[in-house]
């Protein structure tokens, strides 16, 4: 899609993206279509992913809002593109951009996975403007095509692991160039690396324990509880818990008090957990205190879809695992803010009631919800292969350029561009 002749020129500013070349490739493709493209690097990882033509911000957090505002005015920015809207640097930039009438485009991991990424205006997850009223969703879906059935996107976990490693390697080694940068991630990147090393060393033991757990749940009624990453803003910003450990305590205490005696709770570790915390030991210690040790099972492995198909219900804070469960008609209760937490789709009567009488999702409403979600929030493609990224870039451009141009930046001036203006078409 090219910019139509005579259309107001659009100027896109890219902030932090996912580890890897996606934002750089998207920016290049936009520039080829006559769009102004700009980049601000906040860390050595950003500079590694976008090595040429960007502006490095090397100052303190307290000076960042005014730096962003001056940059918006100097370059007459009409659109900001970023990945994740809860990072402190992004939050400050978004608030300043709203004062200037700048359009905000937020990428995130796909609400429905795999094969899709999230791209929304103004915010994602708990900040998403996605409609939650069942009647409005059903009415909107009448005018939309059905969700397309397409072949899967090619993906390779090793590619994402490699992109992440080199990004965060340069975050650490780039401290001299970006002395005041503080990652949005909790914990230590170095300790996470050590945790991953130990996790790989324990791979065979984890596989054996997973096989034993799968054998133990055969023929039993179980609820499925997929863990999320404590450092994820889904937990830190879009849940009442602050950490995954607190969420686990909340679920275990409710299960101990209200779940039928003939049911068990299967707790599944997140596949991207570094393994620094021994969740198995941590879970069983708490289960013993609640006298439910025999009814709590832990698995680090297994296929989530297979586990969901045989469960009686899923408990999650706001994980996208919930959409996978809904896809197979499994009752789901949400404990945080989730875009799919819609009356008639998810259980609405609270966790204590869920164990006894889980609400079955309305399949017609969920299909309508997916139609609206795909039309408004999702772009096809991924980050784990060259072909998936090419698809993602192409579809993202269509969505970005389909949006109307922003109003002129209030208070903008025509001063000479500051350092960092780049990729001008």
Give whole-number Cα distances, 158 to 18, 150, 205, 384, in Å: 15, 24, 22, 8
How many CB atoms are closer than 10 A to CB 299?
22
Tokens of 180: 């005041």
β-pair partners for 295: none
What one-character DSSP code corresponds to residue 63?
G
Asked whether this chain's domains 11-155+377-410 and 204-372 adopt the same fold, the reply is yes
Spatial strand order in the sheet of 221-226: 296-299, 263-268, 221-226, 313-316, 332-334
Distance, CA of 249 to CA of 251 (rounded, Å) = 6
**Which top CATH class is 204-372?**
alpha beta
Dist CA 36 CA 425 (whole Å): 6
Q: Residue holding tokens 């650490």?
A: 172
CB 237 within 8 A of CB 318: no
User: Where is 273: in which H helix or E strand?
Assistant: none
Contact 345, 369 (CB under 8 A): yes
Q: Which residues contact 140 (CB under 8 A, 6 or more apart)?
A: 131, 368, 371, 372
Which residue in 124, 94, 90, 95 sits closest to 108, CA to CA? 124
DSSP code, position 125: G
CATH number for 11-155+377-410: choose from 3.30.70, 3.90.320, 3.40.50, 1.10.3930. Answer: 3.40.50
Backbone φ/ψ region at 188: left (φ over 0), alpha (ψ -120 to 50), beta? beta
Domain ranges of the chain: 11-155+377-410, 204-372
Taking each helix axis from N to C terminus, what angle separates 279-289 and 244-258, rounded to the nearest 10 degrees?
40
Task: Specify the 3-state DSSP secondary structure of 390.
Answer: helix
Q: Write out the two tokens for 323.
A: 């959409």
Residues 119-129: tens digit of each pLDDT = 999 999 888 98
Q: What is the pLDDT of residue 408?
A: 44
pLDDT of residue 410: 45
pLDDT at position 202: 63
Please tell me what DSSP assigns to residue 119.
E
**What is the torsional sign of CA 32, 35, 183, 230?**
negative
pLDDT, position 2: 62
Say how far apart CA 114 and CA 152 lie, in whole Å.
Answer: 8
d(CA 25, CA 166): 17
Helix (H, G, I), strand (E, B) or coil at 355: coil
The pLDDT score that the predictor gives to residue 186 is: 60
Q: Enter the pTM of the model.
A: 0.85
The residues with which 154 forms a beta bridge, in sequence order, are: none
Query: Residues of the chain whose pLDDT is less than 70?
Result: 1-7, 185-203, 205-206, 210, 273-276, 403-425
Instruction: Report d(CA 342, CA 365) in Å as an integer.
Output: 9
Compute the distance between CA of residue 389 and CA of residue 113 in angstroms, rounded to an integer.
Answer: 15
State how far the Cα of 366 lies from the Cα of 346, in Å rounded to an integer. 9
How high is the pLDDT of residue 275? 59
8 A C-beta contact, residue 217 and residue 295: no
Give the pLDDT of residue 419: 38
Can you tell me the distance from the alpha carbon of 261 to that of 295, in angstroms, rounded to the nearest whole number?
8
The pLDDT assigned to 222 comes to 96
């Amino acid at each position: 899609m090219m910019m139509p002749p005579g259309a107001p020129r659009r100027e896109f500013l890219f902030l932090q993206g996912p580890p890897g070349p996606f934002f750089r490739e998207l920016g290049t493709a936009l520039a080829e279509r006559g769009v102004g493209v700009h980049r601000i690097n906040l860390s050595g990882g950003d500079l590694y992913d976008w090595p040429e033509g960007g502006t490095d911000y090397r100052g303190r957090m307290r000076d960042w809002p005014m730096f962003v505002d001056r940059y918006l005015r100097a370059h007459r920015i009409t659109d900001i593109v970023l990945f994740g809207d809860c990072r402190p640097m992004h939050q400050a930039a978004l608030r300043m951009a709203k004062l200037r009438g700048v359009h905000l485009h937020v990428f995130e991991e796909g609400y429905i996975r795999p094969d899709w990424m999230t791209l929304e205006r103004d915010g994602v997850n708990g900040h998403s403007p996605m409609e939650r009223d069942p009647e409005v969703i059903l009415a909107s879906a009448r005018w939309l095509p059905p969700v397309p059935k397409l072949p899967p996107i090619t993906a390779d976990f090793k590619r994402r692991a490699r992109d992440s490693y080199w990004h965060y390697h340069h975050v650490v080694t780039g401290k001299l160039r970006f002395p005041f940068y503080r990652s949005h991630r909790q914990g230590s990147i170095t300790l996470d690396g050590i945790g991953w090393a130990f996790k790989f060393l324990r791979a065979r033991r984890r596989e054996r324990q997973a096989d034993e757990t799968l054998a133990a749940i055969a023929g039993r009624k179980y609820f499925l509880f997929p863990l999320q990453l404590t450092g994820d803003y889904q937990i830190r910003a879009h849940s009442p818990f602050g950490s995954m450990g607190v969420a686990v305590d909340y679920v275990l205490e409710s299960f101990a008090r209200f779940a039928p005696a003939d049911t068990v709770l299967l707790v599944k570790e997140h596949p991207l957990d570094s393994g620094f915390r021994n969740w198995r030991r941590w879970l069983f210690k708490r289960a013993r205190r609640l006298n439910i040790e025999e009814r709590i099972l832990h698995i680090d492995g297994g296929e989530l879809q297979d586990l969901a198909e045989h469960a009686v219900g899923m408990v999650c804070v706001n994980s996208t695992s919930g959409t996978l469960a809904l896809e197979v008609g499994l009752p789901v209760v949400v404990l945080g803010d989730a875009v799919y937490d819609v009356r008639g789709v998810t259980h609405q009567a609270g966790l204590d009631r869920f164990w006894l009488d889980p609400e079955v999702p309305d399949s017609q409403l969920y299909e309508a919800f997916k139609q609206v979600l795909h039309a408004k929030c999702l772009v096809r493609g991924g980050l784990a292969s060259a072909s998936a990224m090419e698809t993602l870039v192409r579809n993202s451009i269509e969505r970005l350029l389909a949006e109307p141009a922003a109003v002129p930046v209030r208070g903008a001036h025509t001063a000479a561009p500051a350092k960092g203006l780049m990729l001008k078409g």
